[in-house]
């Protein structure tokens, strides 16, 4: 009997505890549910408030834009010139004359075309008669040096001293080329390859009897006057020709900048 009584008491205690835990768990679930519901409602209220503020801001901006557009339209109406009744457009259109930076340009250029008139061929022939015709053999030698000593060779020589540069070139050149090398070294008192090449270019320019004629007219050509002549079109010339030979300029031209300023 004692054992049965103890068993019954244990069962009763377990049932009571299960009931207690059930009621406690149910209370916790209800509490958590109410807390979650309140939190959702609070978050929804915050979102509603943010949306309302955004809508209010957008409405204010739209109202401000409408006011600005109204002021712009009003200004455009005041600034627009008054127009009379529309008439039918004529069958032709008149092109107005352009505005020049220099109002006297057209008049001055007309005077130049009227007064600056000469026979370019005759001027070229007369100038050629006064130019030297004997070719300097050292010009050809200088040109050969300039052709042989290209950028790659020049760069290699610049890594050496001046004395080493001169010694190396002296072994390569002979005749007129060697004479030019020695003359440069004697004149300058030192040797530097880049300066030597510049001196050769200047020598060619000052002593070359080839004739360069630049003309203001694209179709004009004077090559047939002499085998030394090379004609080229120069778009910087407005009228006339310019002749370059043996380092001298014989100018019978008017340049663009002299008219336009």
In which domain, by residue range, is 156 found? 136-208
Q: Which residue has the tokens 């978050």?
A: 43
Q: Which of 165, 180, 208 is the last residue of a domain?
A: 208
Complete DSSP assignment for 108-161 = HHHHHHHH----HHHHHHHHHHHS--PPPHHHHHHHHHHHHS-HHHHHHHHTS-
If DSSP codes are grouped into helix, strand and coil, which group holds residue 171? Answer: helix
Identify whether residues 141 and 204 lie together within a single domain. yes
Per-residue pLDDT tens listing for the chain (261 residues): 567 777 777 777 877 787 777 777 777 877 777 776 777 667 767 777 777 777 888 888 888 878 777 766 665 565 454 444 544 544 544 555 555 555 566 566 666 666 666 788 888 888 888 888 888 888 999 999 999 888 888 888 888 898 898 898 888 888 999 999 999 988 888 889 989 999 999 999 888 888 999 998 888 899 898 888 999 998 888 788 899 988 888 888 877 666 555
Length of the chain equals: 261
CB atoms within 10 A of CB 174: 10
Return d(Cα 196, Cα 181) in angstroms, integer: 8
Identify whether residues 202 and 217 lie together within a single domain. no
Instruction: Give pLDDT, residue 8.
Output: 77
Identify whether residues 128 and 213 lie together within a single domain. yes
Residue 243 lies in a domain: yes
Identify whether residues 241 and 128 lie together within a single domain. yes
Identify whether residues 152 and 238 lie together within a single domain. no
Identify whether residues 153 and 192 lie together within a single domain. yes
Instruction: Give pLDDT, residue 64.
Output: 80
Residue 172 lies in a domain: yes
Sheet order of strands, 237-245 included: 229-233, 211-215, 237-245, 248-255
Identify whether residues 141 and 252 lie together within a single domain. no
Q: What's the burial of 208, exposed, middle or buried (CB within 10 Å: 0-12/13-18/19+)?
A: buried
| Count of domains observed in the chain | 2
Residue 198 lies in a domain: yes
Q: What's the burial of 200, exposed, middle or buried (CB within 10 Å: 0-12/13-18/19+)?
A: buried
Q: 239, 108 in Cβ contact below 8 A?
A: no
Return d(Cα 5, Cα 142) in angstroms, integer: 136
């Amino acid at each position: 009997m004692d054992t049965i009584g103890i068993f019954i008491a244990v069962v009763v205690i377990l049932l009571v505890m299960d009931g207690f835990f059930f009621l406690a768990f149910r209370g916790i679930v209800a509490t958590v549910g109410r807390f979650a519901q309140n939190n959702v409602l609070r978050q929804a209220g915050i979102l509603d408030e943010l949306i309302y503020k955004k809508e209010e801001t957008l409405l204010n901006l739209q109202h401000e834009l409408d006011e600005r557009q109204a002021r712009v339209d009003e200004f455009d109406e005041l600034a627009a010139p008054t127009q009379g009744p529309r008439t039918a457009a004529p069958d032709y259109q008149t092109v107005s004359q352009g505005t020049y930076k220099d109002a006297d340009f057209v008049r001055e250029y007309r005077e130049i075309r009227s007064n600056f008139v000469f026979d370019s061929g005759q001027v070229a022939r007369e100038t050629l008669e006064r130019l030297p015709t004997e070719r300097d053999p050292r010009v050809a030698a200088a040109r050969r040096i300039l052709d042989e000593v290209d950028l790659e060779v020049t760069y290699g020589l610049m890594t050496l001293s001046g004395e080493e540069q001169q010694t190396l070139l002296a072994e390569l050149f002979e005749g007129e080329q060697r004479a030019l090398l020695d003359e440069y070294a004697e004149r300058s008192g030192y040797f530097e390859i880049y300066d030597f090449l510049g001196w050769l270019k200047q020598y060619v320019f000052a002593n070359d009897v080839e004739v360069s004629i630049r003309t203001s007219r694209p179709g004009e050509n004077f090559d047939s006057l002499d085998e030394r002549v090379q004609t080229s079109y120069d778009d910087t010339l407005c009228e006339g020709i310019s002749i370059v030979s043996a380092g001298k300029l014989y100018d019978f031209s008017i340049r663009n900048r002299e008219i336009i300023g």
